[in-house]
C-alpha cells in the first residue's frame, strides 16, 4: 500500500492559493504577505498574458501542478509491503535420532495401534517440530554412522517432511553410534552464533560403534555451551507370541537401553534425561521440553518499504523545464513580432 512518511506537509499544497488571495487584497495590505523567488517569477510571467484567457488559466494550473508535485515529493511517498514476521528466539535446536535396526521393534502403540519405535518417534516428533516456529531446527540421523539429514533451518515444513521420510537402514542398521550422533550435531551447533543451542537425542540402545564415545561427545557439547536433552525410547514389557506352539512370553525389549550413560550426558550439559515407554510419555516429554525451552511469545514484525519521492520530484522538474522553455519561446516570438512592426 502507498503511504506518506510526512503526510502533514501536504497542507503546503494550498500555499499558492493563499498567495493569490492575499495578492488580490493589496489595497488593504502594505505588501504581499508571502513572497518567494519562484512565485515572483510566476507572477512576472502571468503579467505578459491575458489573465482571463484559456492560456493564462492553463499556465496557472501548470504552475500549481508543479508545486503540488514538489510538495508530494517532500512528504515522502512510500510503498509499504505486507507485514513480515521475523523469527523471535534465535534458538538453534538439533534433533539426533537413532535409526538402527532395534528402532524397528514394534513394542509401542500410536492411537491404539501397535507400531515400531521409529514410527512413534517420527510422528510425535513431527507434531513437536511444527510448534517450534521461531527456532532453527536441524536433523541428524545415526545408526552404524551418523550423517546430517537436514541442516539448521527455519523451514519447519521441510524438516517435518524429511523426518517422516526417514527409514531404518539409511545410516546402517547393525549397530548404534550414539557418540557420533552427538558429535555431528555438536559440530553443526557450535558453528552458530545463537545464544541458546539445544540438542535432543533419541535412542533405544547403547553405543556400539563410532569414533567418539557418548561421554567424549558430551564433553565437547559442554565446552561449546550446548544443552543436551536425552530420551530413552522403548517399552519395558512386550508380549511375544509363538504361533507354532501357541505360547506367549514376556520380555523386556529395552534391556540394552543405556540409561546410565544417557543420564550422565544430560547432567553433564545441563539438560535432562527422559524415559519414553509409550505414546503418553512421549507427549508429556515434548510438553516438558516446551516448558524448559519456551518459544518467545513477542515477535518482531517489519514492513518492507520503498521510497518513491523521486517520481513526483522528477515529474515536477520535467514540467517546470517544459514550462520555462514554452514561456521563453513565446516571449521570443512576441518580441520578434513587435520589432518587425517598429
Mean pLDDT of 145-157: 91
Using a cut of 0.85, tell me whether the model's pTM lies above it: no
Mean pLDDT of 182-200: 87
pLDDT band at 180 (very low <50, low <70, confident <90, very high): very high
Q: pLDDT at position 87, please?
A: 55
What is the CATH superfamily name and number for domain 92-292? von Willebrand factor, type A domain (3.40.50.410)
Higher pLDDT, 146 or 303: 146
Q: pLDDT at position 27, please?
A: 47
Q: pLDDT at position 34, please?
A: 47
Q: pLDDT at position 228, please?
A: 96
Has residue 79 got a pLDDT over 90?
A: no
Each residue of 82-107: pLDDT tens digit? Answer: 776 655 556 789 999 999 999 999 99
> What is the C-alpha to C-alpha distance for residues 92 and 114, in angstroms, rounded to an integer?
33
Which of 223, 250, 248, 246 lies closest to 237 in space, CA to CA? Answer: 250
Place of cell 507400531: 115
Beta bridge pairs of residue 247 = 242
Given a contact cutoff of 8 angstroms between Cβ atoms, the answer to whether 134 and 295 are in contact is yes
Q: pLDDT at position 327, please?
A: 79
The DSSP H or E segment spanning 341 is helix 310-341
Has residue 165 got a pLDDT over 80?
A: yes
> What is the C-alpha to C-alpha distance for residues 277 and 117, in angstroms, rounded to an integer?
10
Which of 319, 330, 293, 333 lies closest to 136 in space, CA to CA? Answer: 293
Higher pLDDT, 110 or 20: 110
Each residue of 306-324: pLDDT tens digit? Answer: 888 888 899 988 988 888 8
Beta bridge pairs of residue 97 = 141, 202
Which of 246, 288, 276, 290 lies closest to 109 in space, CA to CA? Answer: 276
Given a contact cutoff of 8 angstroms between Cβ atoms, the answer to whether 152 and 137 are in contact is yes
> What is the C-alpha to C-alpha distance for residues 168 and 32, in angstroms, rounded to an integer?
90
pLDDT band at 131 (very low <50, low <70, confident <90, very high): confident
> What is the C-alpha to C-alpha distance for residues 165 and 218, in angstroms, rounded to an integer?
28
Domain extents for the chain? Answer: 2-81+304-341, 92-292
Each residue of 19-77: pLDDT tens digit? Answer: 777 776 664 544 444 455 555 554 554 555 444 455 567 777 888 888 898 999 898 88
Amino acid at each position: 500500500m502507498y503511504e506518506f512518511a510526512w503526510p502533514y506537509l501536504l497542507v503546503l499544497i494550498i500555499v499558492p492559493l493563499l498567495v493569490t488571495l492575499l495578492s488580490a487584497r493589496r489595497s488593504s495590505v502594505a505588501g504581499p504577505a508571502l513572497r518567494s523567488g519562484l512565485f515572483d517569477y510566476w507572477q512576472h510571467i502571468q503579467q505578459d498574458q491575458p489573465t482571463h484567457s484559456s492560456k493564462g488559466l492553463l499556465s496557472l494550473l501548470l504552475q500549481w501542478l508543479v508545486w503540488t508535485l514538489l510538495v508530494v515529493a517532500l512528504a515522502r511517498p512510500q510503498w509499504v509491503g505486507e507485514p513480515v514476521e521475523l523469527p523471535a528466539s534465535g534458538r538453534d535446536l538439533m534433533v539426533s535420532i537413532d535409526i538402527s535396526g532395534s528402532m524397528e521393534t514394534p513394542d509401542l502403540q500410536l492411537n491404539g495401534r501397535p507400531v515400531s519405535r521409529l514410527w512413534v518417534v517420527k510422528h510425535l516428533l513431527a507434531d513437536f517440530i511444527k510448534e517450534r516456529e521461531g527456532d532453527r531446527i536441524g536433523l541428524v540421523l545415526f545408526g552404524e554412522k551418523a550423517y546430517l539429514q537436514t541442516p539448521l533451518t527455519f523451514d519447519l515444513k521441510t524438516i517435518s517432511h524429511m523426518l517422516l521420510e526417514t527409514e531404518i537402514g539409511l545410516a546402517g542398521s547393525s549397530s548404534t553410534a550414539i557418540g557420533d550422533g552427538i558429535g555431528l550435531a555438536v559440530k553443526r551447533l557450535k558453528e552458530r552464533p545463537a545464544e541458546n543451542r539445544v540438542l535432543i537425542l533419541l535412542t533405544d540402545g547403547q553405543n556400539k560403534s563410532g569414533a567418539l564415545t557418548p561421554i567424549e561427545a558430551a564433553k565437547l557439547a559442554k565446552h561449546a555451551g550446548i544443552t543436551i536433552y536425552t530420551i530413552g525410547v522403548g517399552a519395558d514389557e512386550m508380549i511375544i507370541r509363538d504361533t507354532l506352539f501357541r505360547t506367549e512370553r514376556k520380555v523386556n525389549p529395552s534391556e540394552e537401553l543405556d540409561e546410565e550413560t544417557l543420564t550422565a550426558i544430560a547432567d553433564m550439559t545441563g539438560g535432562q534425561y527422559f524415559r519414553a515407554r509409550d505414546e503418553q510419555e512421549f507427549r508429556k516429554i515434548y510438553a516438558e521440553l516446551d516448558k524448559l525451552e519456551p518459544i518467545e511469545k513477542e515477535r518482531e514484525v517489519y514492513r518492507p518499504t520503498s521510497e518513491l519521492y523521486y517520481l513526483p520530484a522528477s515529474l515536477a522538474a520535467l514540467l517546470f523545464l517544459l514550462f520555462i522553455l514554452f514561456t521563453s519561446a513565446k516571449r521570443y516570438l512576441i518580441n520578434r513580432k513587435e520589432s518587425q512592426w517598429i
